[in-house]
Chains A and B, each alone.
Chain A
């Protein structure tokens, strides 16, 4: 079972993307303190995103006619890995580049592609995803936000989204909403709409989290009027579209590298203070080995994306293990540092550890909870 997990190598032409990208981000990222970089793909920097767009590092898999680079999933893997492994603040363009552009390319109209895709490739417009609603939790299909068709075309939108990442900085939301039927219809009658967040009737309220940051928001829609071409894809096909979209969200390197800046800062700490401590060495080795194996698994899933498949089950498997790994890092490092209560620790390492420790519960919530993902794997095992 799971025979598609095989060792894959990145093509040399994609590996070649690393060096020039390193040169581009070195200055902008190296100067950032560790605890800023530890925010990884939750760090928002529109200047960096525009610079990446101008240099051709966004829209890597999109056709050239829409401003993309017409390269494959491997190129995207390399660029993601380079950015995340040093903690570059990529949140501005991340979701647009990873998911929204793919969705618009595959399901959008030609006019929608020409409108949005070149701007995404240039790093000029940013998207968020409106899936969760108050009370919906893991039951994504329990959508109550509703778009009614209005006379003369277009939609009238009412409802509320929550846990939407960076809606307060973004330009557009792609929301899963009910366009027909009732909640009991579950997967039927759902559609995806592109919402310009500057439209009257849209209110965005940041949710300050326990670290003091505000990544998440709640978004309110009160009689928001949307044009007819706000609909993306087919009316009523929203559930199938969302399922395909989630494979892009679940398979990437971000699901293994969220705590990587903290890991490297801690390794530098033990190298400087106690390079012969057997327990620390074993922990450094264990985490390094797990990371290597997870990367090989993530690359195997990328290979299937590169071959044009939608590896929903494999992506769920990598995300579940990957987020568990990311979550284990702060707890294990805290234990290791606490094993030496008399040894000084740099304040920025303390802050990076505190941030990762506090935010880590979200790793296995965003993009599908552990239990939901394991249910998908169980389906792959033929149990459901």
Chain B
């Protein structure tokens, strides 16, 4: 099966269940049951599960743009996270629970989409635990529109932990979501610049605006290439590749959100404008699972440890296109 054959139906499915209106409703607390049953029935959740375990057997590299597609729609459900969790559970020979699963690492604070998940796959740093979530063990920080939560779990099932844990893969999923949202924001912002007139002509004709949008395009391309270095693996990226992906994508996210708002003017910060669905997401994903400084320090440590290499040699080891 080639990528387009798999991805195009997924994009159409998402357009049907993850429109801006549907995203707003879910972020407002309406739940995700219709969205989740449509995605469950489609079979996409088992994309990364090996064929012998009843899945589709695709690599993370093959579904990377699908994760970008989730970011481009600010889809309010942990679809990519559940895909990864199912692959890991299948590999460990553990039965998969039906509902949405989030990935959490360390102290499990501010876990994106945890308010709408039924399970969490938690990497404590020593063990990997599959836990059920309910109202008792998750707490929202109360940020309007955010579905992130702090988790305090119990009643777990222990699963074999990958050597590098879950944080690298979780970070790479955020990087890919950032890339998707960045691409959507660039499209929206260019379209707005072409339709909004000031001083008698579309603002997109002003050189000052053109230069800002060019920088936005550069940052979008950087976020996308960074994400693809991270997703260029069968399933679990190396920590160094994840660090590359997340540090560059997180840094780009801040600039992209800022330019999108600057070009839209004040209208972009109003609740009714779709822009905020994506810029709010960018800021949340930027911080989640390690910000740019967190991952830069990890990559810097790896770079220093590699005494024999030049920087050019070192960066060639980061991406391994399959």
Contacts and interface: CB of A to CB of B under 8 A. Distances in A.
Contact of A285 (B204, B229, B301): B301
A263 B311 contact: yes
A267 B220 contact: no
Given A9-B321, A300-B225, A383-B190, A288 B244 contact: yes
Taking residues whose C-beta sits less than 8 angstroms from the other chain, chain A's interface range is 35 or more
Given A282-B293, A383-B205, A289 B312 contact: no
B229 A288 contact: no
A278 interface: yes
Nearest to A297: B225
Interface of A: 1-2, 5-9, 81, 84-86, 257, 260, 263-264, 267, 270-271, 275, 278, 280-297, 300, 317, 320-321, 371, 373-375, 377-378, 380-384
A18 to B, nearest CB: 10
A294 B213 CA distance: 19
B218 A320 contact: yes
Interface string B196-222: 000000001101011101110110111
B41 interface: no
A381 B217 contact: yes
Contact of B304 (A281, A291, A294, A382): A281
B77 interface: no
Given A7-B228, A374-B215, A383-B193, A285 B311 contact: no
B214 A5 contact: no
B6 interface: no
A289 B243 contact: yes
Given A317-B221, A378-B214, A382-B194, 11 more contacts: A1-B183, A2-B217, A2-B224, A6-B228, A271-B304, A283-B296, A283-B300, A284-B304, A285-B295, A285-B303, A289-B247
B262 interface: no
B221 A5 contact: yes
B63 to A, nearest CB: 14
A180 to B, nearest CB: 31
Taking residues whose C-beta sits less than 8 angstroms from the other chain, chain B's interface range is 35 or more
Contacts of B194: 382-383
B315 A292 contact: yes
B303 A286 contact: no
Nearest to A373: B214
11 contacts: A1-B186, A5-B224, A7-B232, A285-B303, A286-B299, A288-B311, A289-B243, A374-B210, A375-B211, A381-B186, A384-B210
Given A275-B304, A297-B225, A321-B222, A374 B243 contact: no
A285 B239 CA distance: 12
Given A278-B297, A289-B226, A300-B225, A7 B213 contact: no
Contact of A267 (B207, B217, B232, B303): B303
A381 B293 contact: no
A378 B213 contact: yes
Nearest to B231: A7
B173 interface: no
Contact of A289 (B217, B224, B244): B244
Contacts of A288: 244, 299-300, 303, 311, 314-315
Name the residue in A81, A288, A300, A384 with the highest tally of chain B Cβ atoms < 10 Å from its Cβ.
Answer: A288
Given A9-B321, A374-B210, A375-B207, A285 B299 contact: yes
A282 B296 contact: yes
Nearest to A261: B310
Contact of B312 (A6, A260, A380, A384): A260
Contacts of B310: 85-86, 260, 264
A297 B300 contact: no
Nearest to A2: B221
B229 A296 contact: yes
A271 B305 CA distance: 8
A282 B211 contact: no
A383 B244 contact: no
Nearest to A292: B315
A1 B182 CA distance: 11
Contacts of A289: 226, 243-244, 247-248, 295-296, 299
